[in-house]
Amino acid sequence: MTTPGTGSGAGAGTGIGDGTGTVTRAEVCVVACAEAWRGDGEVLAATAGTVPMLGARLARLTFSPRLLLTDGEAMLLSTPEDPASAEGWLPYRKHLSVAARGKRHMMMGASQLDRYGNQNISCIGDWARPVRQLLGARGAPSNTVNHPVSYWVPRHSPRVFVPRVDMVSGVGHDRAAEAGGAAARFHGLRRVVTDLAVLDFATPDHRMRLASVHPGVTVAQVREQTGFELVVPDQVPVTREPTPEELRLLRGVLDRQGTRDREVRG
Amino acid sequence: MTVGIGGWGARRKPMALVRALLRTDVTDLTVVSCGGPDVGLLAAAGRIRKLVAPFVTLDSVPLEPHFRAAREAGALQFEEWDESMFLWGLTAAAHRLPFMPVRGGLGSDIPRRNPRLRTVTSPYEDGEELLAAPALTLDVALVHMNRADVRGNGQSLGPDPYFDDLFTEAAERAYLSCEQVVERFTGPPQSLLVQRQNVTGVLHTPRGAHFTSCAPDYARDEAFQRAYVRAAGEPDAWREFEARFLTGDEAAYQRAVEAHCAREGAAR
């Protein structure tokens, strides 16, 4: 639901802003993203995409208060409720230093992901002559060998979850282990949040595992939308719903305009 | 010739200098850039032999249409770098070193797609084997600043200096365009980013970063960028865009943009 972003009374009486009303899939996703940063201390929660950005801000306002957040450009936010507030300067070059130092947990996007968490944002098809050129590797190679990385996939499908990525931009568990030494030293993928489920790598050989399905989603649906065989435990929990306080913060403070719903269907 | 282009994506790109380059017959370029529409325009004109970049993006439009088309047509060589490798490659060149060690790139397909990349082993007890990011030494660097003086000192007043000082330090010759030429600088000393010993020439090009952003002087011209993307999607539309905006000099470009905005504004 979209409500005007001005006025404290926006959405009054509709459940928006007071933490009541039906929980949307996007809201479940925001909280599942926020959970990626639980237990992280004083590290930069870097994000790509609206839902992870809201998740990082929500985590900071609730269970991970020491997180550092950016305004998406060169400033560190002092209070996530106020995008104009700054507690520090983090231009591009400093951002790379924070990453190299490991004081960062980034949630990136992925055009392709495989069962070991190798990620591709470079191109689709043969790298030498791609069918579809995408962004380029950006900082994915260095992020994945320097600090914790998670992924956000707004549309869980076999086009994204593929047996083998066309170009390894972000390093997966098998490739980090194979390269060994300096590549594996600080490597650690945490979780993958999609519009259907939460996935992680908590298996002996770090293959991707179904950690939970979102309310209303079945295990079969996730399997059907995944292009490789997922590790599926006997009991698959349901992703937790936002608490009333989280809903209040999300709807009434962080995202009064409902931008989260533009990134997640349903 | 190897040309390094400052700015980042669709932010503070020396677009007037890129347009000037398009008016020459210089071609067969190796372009080194955190790519945006600078790469797009040069690729559309067939001027790039090889591109060295960690990404090409228009920010608010994630994918650059001309770069995409050039890659998909196999029209340019692409040396795909990781961002941290790129930083240290420029730094190595600025320090006259052959390489800098870097972790980023290890284990990924970056070294597999780029056979000239080598690793280097630490001579100390850790014995770590790291990537040796080769020096990104440039023949020419092009950067755009908010303010400059006639001697070649450049001031960046926006929130992010990007790598512009490094580009000028990594280059044999550097050309600095600016929004305003000043006799004396005001503002914090930290904003005096580019130094005259690294600059060959200064050009006064008001709105010279258009249509990219040049904070705090102006924001990205999102409407014009969308028009650029639309035109890039179709050969006839692109020929028309070129004829309207890219056949005259810089003053003609700025006049054509103004006329375009006035017309579009009226239509809105």
b/e code B42-63 from CB counts within 10 Å (16+ = b):
bbbeebbeebbbbbbbbeeeeb
Instruction: Return the pLDDT at A239.
Output: 98
B257 contact partners, CB below 8 Å, separation of at least 6: B207, B210, B211, B221, B224, B245
Given a contact cutoff of 8 angstroms between Cβ atoms, the answer to whether B228 and B207 are in contact is no
Give residue A11's pLDDT band: very low, low, confident or very high (50, 70, 90).
Answer: very low
Residues of B in contact with A167 (CB under 8 A): 109, 113
| Tens digit of each residue's pLDDT (9 = 90 or more) over A90-128 | 999 999 999 999 999 999 999 999 999 999 999 999 999
Given a contact cutoff of 8 angstroms between Cβ atoms, the answer to whether B4 and B170 are in contact is yes
pLDDT at A163 over 90: yes
The phi, psi pair for A139, rounded to 5°, reads -100, 10
Contact A75 B81 (CB under 8 A): no
Task: Count other Cβ atoms within 10 Å, centred on residue A213.
Answer: 20
Selected residues 108-137 of chain B with any CB under 8 Å from a CB in chain A: 108-110, 113, 128-130
| Test mutation, B83, B112, B164, B214, chain A, max A CBs within 10 A | B83
**Across-strand partners of A230?**
none
Closest by CA position to B132, among listed B119, B114, B113: B119
Contact A167 B113 (CB under 8 A): yes
Task: Count other Cβ atoms within 10 Å, centred on residue A205.
Answer: 11
Both tokens of A138, joined, read: 């950006």
- Please name the amino acid found at residue B205: T
Q: How far apart are CA A93 and CA B163, in angstroms?
A: 7
| Test mutation, A111, A123, A133, chain B, max B CBs within 10 A | A133
The H or E element that residue B238 is part of is helix B235-245
Both tokens of B111, joined, read: 């070294």
Question: How far A71 CA lies from chain B's nearest CA (Å)?
Answer: 11
Question: How far B225 CA lies from chain A's nearest CA (Å)?
Answer: 17
| Test mutation, B106, B120, B125, B164, chain A, max A CBs within 10 A | B106
Given a contact cutoff of 8 angstroms between Cβ atoms, the answer to whether B114 and B80 are in contact is yes
Q: Which residue has the higher pLDDT, A81 or B258?
A: B258
The pTM (predicted TM-score) of the whole model is 0.94
Q: How far apart are CA B9 and CA A136, in angstroms?
A: 12
Instruction: Return the pLDDT at A266.
Output: 65
Domain A25-256, CATH 3.40.1080.10 — does that match?
yes
Residues of A in contact with B107 (CB under 8 A): 141, 144-145, 168, 171, 175-176, 178-179, 183-184, 187
Q: Pick B160's closest partner by Cβ from A74, A145, A170.
A: A74
Domain locations along chain A: 25-256
Contact A136 B163 (CB under 8 A): no
Given a contact cutoff of 8 angstroms between Cβ atoms, the answer to whether A142 and A95 are in contact is no
Interface membership of B162 toward A (CB under 8 Å): yes
Instruction: Return the pLDDT at A195.
Output: 98
Contact B106 A92 (CB under 8 A): no
* Chain B residue whose CA is closest to A128: B74
Tell me how far CA of residue B62 lies from CA of A49, A133, A252, B66, B238, in angstroms.
12, 11, 29, 13, 20
Per-position DSSP letters for A68-113, written without gaps between them: B-B-SSSEEES-TT-TT-EEEE--HHHHHHHHHHT-EEEEE--SEE
pLDDT at A217 over 70: yes
pLDDT at A197 over 60: yes
HEC sequence for B107-142: CCCHHHHCCCCEEEECCCCCCCEEEEEECCCEEEEE
| Tens digit of each residue's pLDDT (9 = 90 or more) over A236-250 | 999 999 999 999 999
Instruction: Return the pLDDT at B267.
Output: 57
Question: How far B182 CA lies from chain A's nearest CA (Å)?
Answer: 25
Q: How far apart are CA A120 and CA A175, in angstroms?
A: 13
- Positions of chain B with pLDDT under 50: 268
Contact A130 B163 (CB under 8 A): no
With tokens 């490798």, the residue in question is B85
Both tokens of B182, joined, read: 């000043």
Contact A96 B68 (CB under 8 A): no
Instruction: Return the pLDDT at B265.
Output: 78
Tell me how far CA of residue A62 lies from CA of A40, A55, A57, A260, B92, in angstroms.
12, 10, 9, 19, 43
Give residue A3's pLDDT band: very low, low, confident or very high (50, 70, 90).
Answer: very low
Q: How far apart are CA B268 and CA B257, in angstroms?
A: 16
The burial of A39, by beta-carbon neighbours within 10 Å (0-12 exposed, 13-18 middle, 19 or more buried), is given as exposed
The burial of A58, by beta-carbon neighbours within 10 Å (0-12 exposed, 13-18 middle, 19 or more buried), is given as buried
Percentage above 90 pLDDT, chain A: 88
Interface membership of B152 toward A (CB under 8 Å): no
Instruction: Return the pLDDT at A83.
Output: 78
pLDDT at A15 over 50: no
Contact B130 A144 (CB under 8 A): no
Question: How far B71 CA lies from chain A's nearest CA (Å)?
Answer: 6
Residues of B in contact with A91 (CB under 8 A): 159-162
Contact B102 A142 (CB under 8 A): yes
Instruction: Return the pLDDT at A190.
Output: 98
**How many helices, marked H, and strands, marked E, lie in chain B?**
9, 12
Contact B159 A73 (CB under 8 A): yes
Contact A141 B106 (CB under 8 A): yes
pLDDT at A10 over 60: no
